[in-house]
Structure 1
Amino acid sequence: MTAHVELQQQLQETLLPFGFEVYPFQIGWYNAVLEPAFHLSYPKDTLAFVVLSIPSMFEKAFKPFLRHHKLQDLMDPIDQCVAYHMSLVKEKFPSDKLDVIYDYQLHPNRRPKVLMQTAAHVSGAAYYYQRKDIPLDPWGSKKMFGVCIHPQFGGWFAIRAVLVFAEIQAPDLEQTLPLDCLPSQNDRIQLLEHFNFNWRDGKYRDVLPPKEKYSEEQTLYFATPPAERRKLLELQGELHPSPLC
């Protein structure tokens, strides 16, 4: 069994029961589609994995995390939960140099440390639909952001982290292309318009029939402004109320 297959199996055993998926890629695949300013500084064959959270993460990982761990004051609760599970991954591989890069991490110039949607695309995890995928688009000079779609969950998922095994090379890893769920130009246009113009209503997430989607509780949580999420968790009984100062 090759190193990348064994590592992927171990990562899946650790993370899948908690609602996380992992997909392998070579750093070179990622760097090849980006400008040098966004490159990751590892040899091209270096093994990495992108980590997604799927709808079941909320019940399998997040709510148990809230029950058993004290939240830090200045960090988003979901981010704390993800970081906890990534720490368990690092414990599983104590002899490996494992770098964890989270979706919210930025360089001092505010540039993201990893373009997560690009990582998801090159790993085959989800198709990153962008304006360049629509040769004759209707938007003129308007800026349009791209969005990833998962073949099973549509838009009901999130890209949480990239794991880089800095000292492991995987030259034999074969690239799996992401499944193009929206070959129709009209469907792609509709997706990008829903995402760019009305992302709050979540319609872009249902661009294809999902295998599973967020529960009402989870949808409400993510629709709540970050500054108000702890209060929501307290009202739902997931957290003890903060003591009055």
Structure 2
Amino acid sequence: MELRAALVERWLRDSLCAFGFELHPLQVGWYNTVLQPSFHLAYPDNTLAFVVLSTPSMFDKAFKPFVNKQLLKRIRDPVDQCISHHLSLVKEHFPDEKVHIIYDYEMLPNRKPKFLAQTAAHVSGAAYYYQRKDVKCDPWGDKKIYGVCIHPQYGGWFAIRAILIFPEIQVPFLEQYAPIDCVTTEEKRIQLLEKFNFHWQDWSYRDIIEVKERYSEEQKTYFATPPAERFKLLGLQGGIQRNAFY
């Protein structure tokens, strides 16, 4: 079983990291343990899973080539289509394995997310999930304050895209690593949560730490464009695709 898990992880890294994705293995039980039962994933605790992140380079390495080679369906978000395309190749490569993919945008009938992406990223060691409870002297009173994940290399310039689950692979031997606490001071944590909750549109929370790489201006323009207008930005009109980037 250990060899089987290692072979799966090696193929995933060889295939997806070249396109700007990052993978972090975890046991499903690590995730379930920190959440109330209504959010649990219905698998044994030792089940192998991977949190999938997109790094800043995904835009150039995966998304732009996808747009220029594929006929996008106008009913779905272009980035979501790109992510789905690359992760569907995992199922094709492992036809004898059960592979369940849950995307960050998927919802249950009760409108709860199918998985809590930031919690999954934290327990896998991918990124530290900073929340209100991480601030000792809370300055916000009755205000609702949402938490945010910060990556030790990319700060806030990344996204959690999906979780891959391999129901038939059990990994009791998998070692858990804590996420890197890269926003260490009380002052910085308050600043981060303030920026994320009240000024998220100016991108500044993403630079709360020194980063290795950030989104290009082209990428920022794309994500700042309202979803309904992104097809036009890509040069897609009436189902006809034109070269938007090359």
TM class by shorter chain equals: over 0.9
Is the contact between residue 4 and residue 173 of structure 1 (CA under 8 Å) also seen in structure 2?
no
Query: What is the DSSP-based 3-state SS (H/G/I as helix, E as strand, rest coil) of the residue aligned with 2:108?
Result: coil
Q: Which amino acid aligns with 1:131?
A: R
In 2: Cα distance, 1:111 partner to 1:104 partner: 10
Map 1:1-245 to 2 at 5 A. Answer: 2-234=3-235, 239-240=241-242
Contact kept? 2:74, 2:231, Cα under 8 Å: no
Q: Which moved more, 1:2-11 or 1:94-103?
A: 2-11
* Paired residues of 2:102 and 2:163 also in contact (CA < 8 A): yes
Q: In structure 1, what is the Cα distance between the partners aligned to 2:128 and 2:226?
A: 27
Q: Deviations over 1:170-215 (max 9, x none)?
A: 0000001100001101100000000000100000000011101101
Find the aligned partners of 2:4 and 2:147 in 1 and give their Cα distance: 33
Q: Which amino acid aligns with 1:176?
A: Y
Q: Which runs of 5+ in 1 are unaligned?
A: none
AA matched with 2:120: A
Give the Cα separation in 1 of the matches to 2:211 and 2:184: 17
Q: Does structure 1 retain, via aligned residues, the 8 Å contact 2:68–2:242?
A: no
Give the distance between the partners of 1:223 and 1:112, measured in 2 at CA: 23
Answer yes or no: is the 8 Å Cα contact 2:71–2:241 preserved in 1: no
Query: Counterparts of 1:132 and 1:94 in 2: how far apart (Å)?
Result: 43
Question: Residues 19 and 53 of structure 1 are in contact (CA less than 8 Å); yes or no, is this contact kept in structure 2?
Answer: yes
Could you tell me which amino acid in structure 2 is paired with residue 182 of structure 1?
V
Task: Tell me if structure 2 keeps the 8 A contact 1:3–1:170.
Answer: no
Q: CA RMSD in A?
A: 1.4
Unaligned runs of 5+ in 2: none
| Contact preservation (8 Å) 1:15, 1:85 | yes
Question: 1:15 & 1:217 partners in 2: Cα distance?
Answer: 22
Structure 1 residue 240, shift from structure 2 partner: 2.3
Using structure 1 for the length normalisation, give the TM-score.
0.95
SS of the aligned residue for 2:100 comes to strand
In 1, the alpha carbon distance for the partners of 2:202 and 2:57 equals 21
For residues 57 and 90 of structure 2, what CA distance do their matches in structure 1 show?
Answer: 19
Q: State percent identity of aligned pairs.
A: 62
Alignment partners' CA distance in 2, 1:110 and 1:3: 36
Deviations 1:47-70 (A, max 9, x none): 000000000000000010011111
- 1:135, distance to aligned residue in structure 2 (A): 1.9
Show structure 1 runs of 4+ deviating over 6 A: none
- SS of the aligned residue for 2:22 comes to strand
Deviation at 1:92, TM superposition (A): 1.4
How far apart are the structure 1 equivalents of 2:48 and 2:232? 40
| Aligned equivalents of 1:189, 1:206: Cα separation in 2 | 14
Query: Which letter maps to 1:145?
Result: Y
Q: Which amino acid aligns with 1:220?
A: T
CA distance in 2, matches of 1:240, 1:192: 40
Query: Any idea what the Cα deviations from partners look like across 1:159-178, whole Å, max 9, x if unmatched?
Result: 00000001110000000110
Q: For the residues of structure 2 that align with 1:179 and 1:48, how far apart are their CA atoms?
A: 20
CA distance in 2, matches of 1:12, 1:125: 14
